[in-house]
Structure 1
Amino acid sequence: MKKIFHYGGNIAEAVIALFLYGILQDFYFFPKQIKQRYHLPLSIQEFATALVTVAVIWFIFWMYKKQLQSVNDWGFNERPHWSARRIMIFLAGFILITVLGGIMLQLVSQGKTVSTNQQNLDQLSKQSGKLFEIMVCFVAPACEEVIFRGMFFNTFFTKATRFNKWAGILVSGFLFAYMHDPGFTKFIYVYWVLGCVLGWVYMSTKDLRYSILTHMCYNSLGFVHMMTLL
């Protein structure tokens, strides 16, 4: 019975986190629709967006930390949070995600096509303005790492074994890939690689701060690359 409550409760919280993340995306990706729907002045809309962002991120982090109080065999989120070793893992993770992601992208696309997810993001960027960059570079990494790394390992593969570490990295990476490419196109392998590297960073540091930072840097790199082409 205890396991049922553990799985059921944690899965329900992950679903709630995904739902709130979806609402948050609307504020960033569809600002014009939000303004028209609620008849908000620009200053009020910006304040509302910032307030909702802080509230959603705080709440899903609170749920994540609450889960750790129940089961935490891995020792996640323990102090001190910052160390030279963890920073080196972050740097290695950023190099890995950049190199391996680029290699996999070339293998599956041969430089000729882009994923459906990327096409949708390109379309959203045209109507979102600067809010798009804030969401993709900062807000999305924070929310996605809590859900796909933090909440995932708090629910599944909770025993601290070598098998659970690597099996969890592969499975969490696949779930991350599926959410970005639910159509199961060839690009799902790219997202799977990205998700696995982020999972490795999280499991190696035992701290979400580093996988979030890796995710933020990788997403930001895409915008830097776009600017160099302009």
Structure 2
Amino acid sequence: MRKFFHYAGNIAVMFLAFVIYTLLEEFYFYPQLIHLRYHIPNQAFVTAVLTILVMGFLFWLYKKELREVNYWGFNKEPHWDAKRLGIAVIGFFLIFFLGAITLTLVNRGGHDVSSNQAALNQLADRNTGLFKIMVGFVGPFCEEIIFRGMFFNTFFTKATRFNKWIGILACGFLFAYVHDPMITKYIVVYWVLGCVLSWVYLTTKDLRYSMITHMAYNCIGLF
């Protein structure tokens, strides 16, 4: 019964974190609509404050879960070292080249993009710098907490080789499904990206490094 409440509670926290994150996205992706709907004064300031609160709250939830179960030894000090930074760099090159190869294979010479990417392209065309802040920084920060940190705090919690690789595949698929819920051919691309990010997290045992990999990859498409 205790295990049931552990899983149920953590899944509920993941869902809550995802809902909060998607609500924050509205302020970045649809600022004009937010202004028309709520008439918020000093909207840029309010967005900045909300961002700090949401990011801080999600990271607090993540660390709270780690205090309950942490067989992997996640988030232990010291947080920074050259070896793990190198793993994050390797992860960036893996995610870049494997993503490009997988996209080429599923496209078979075509030039179409996933519905998720098409929506992001439309938002980028009519948006301000807020879009770049969300995609390049806030999004990767929140998504790594939810899809890597909270996921492995709930599932595959025992530090075994089997759990590592099955967990990487499962976590990668969840990441892919959220980005391509219609399960098109592009879900394979997102699956590869999610698996690489999961590998970086489990290898470094620190979310900061998968965040760096994720942010660096997202920023390629922005500049």
How does the TM-score come out when normalised to structure 2?
Answer: 0.98
| 1:141 maps onto 2:132 in alignment | no
Cα RMSD after superposing both structures: 0.8
CA deviations on 1:77-115 (whole Å, 9 max, x unpaired) are: 000000111011011101100010010011111242111
The match for 1:21 is 21
Whole-Å Cα distance in 1 between the matches of residues 190 and 217 of structure 2? Answer: 12
Whole-Å Cα distance in 2 between the matches of residues 200 and 33 of structure 1? Answer: 38
CA deviations on 1:50-77 (whole Å, 9 max, x unpaired) are: 0110111111111100000010000000
Whole-Å Cα distance in 2 between the matches of residues 166 and 223 of structure 1? Answer: 31
The match for 2:30 is 30
Deviation at 1:126, TM superposition (A): 2.6
The match for 1:77 is 75
The match for 1:58 is 56
Q: Is the 8 A contact 1:94 1:214 kept in 2?
A: yes
Q: Is the 8 A contact 1:93 1:214 kept in 2?
A: yes
The match for 1:211 is 210
Equivalent AA in structure 2 for residue 202 of structure 1: Y
Whole-Å Cα distance in 2 between the matches of residues 3 and 38 of structure 1? Answer: 42
Query: SS at the partner of 1:85?
Result: helix
Deviates more, 1:57-66 or 1:118-127: 118-127
Whole-Å Cα distance in 2 between the matches of residues 40 and 7 of structure 1? Answer: 38
The match for 2:91 is 93
Query: SS at the partner of 1:223?
Result: coil
Query: SS at the partner of 2:222?
Result: helix
**Aligned positions of 1:176-215 closer than 5 A:** 176-215=175-214
The match for 2:159 is 160
| 1:222 maps onto 2:199 in alignment | no
CA deviations on 1:144-179 (whole Å, 9 max, x unpaired) are: 000000000000000000000000000000000000
Equivalent AA in structure 2 for residue 83 of structure 1: D
How does the TM-score come out when normalised to structure 1?
Answer: 0.95
The match for 2:111 is 112
Unaligned ranges ≥5, structure 1: 225-230
Deviation at 1:223, TM superposition (A): 1.6
Count residues with an aligned counterpart: 222
The match for 2:47 is 49
Unaligned ranges ≥5, structure 2: none
Equivalent AA in structure 2 for residue 72 of structure 1: N
Q: Is the 8 A contact 1:30 1:127 kept in 2?
A: no
Q: Which runs of 4+ in 1 moved over 4 A?
A: none
Whole-Å Cα distance in 2 between the matches of residues 220 and 68 of structure 1? Answer: 29
Whole-Å Cα distance in 2 between the matches of residues 40 and 22 of structure 1? Answer: 19
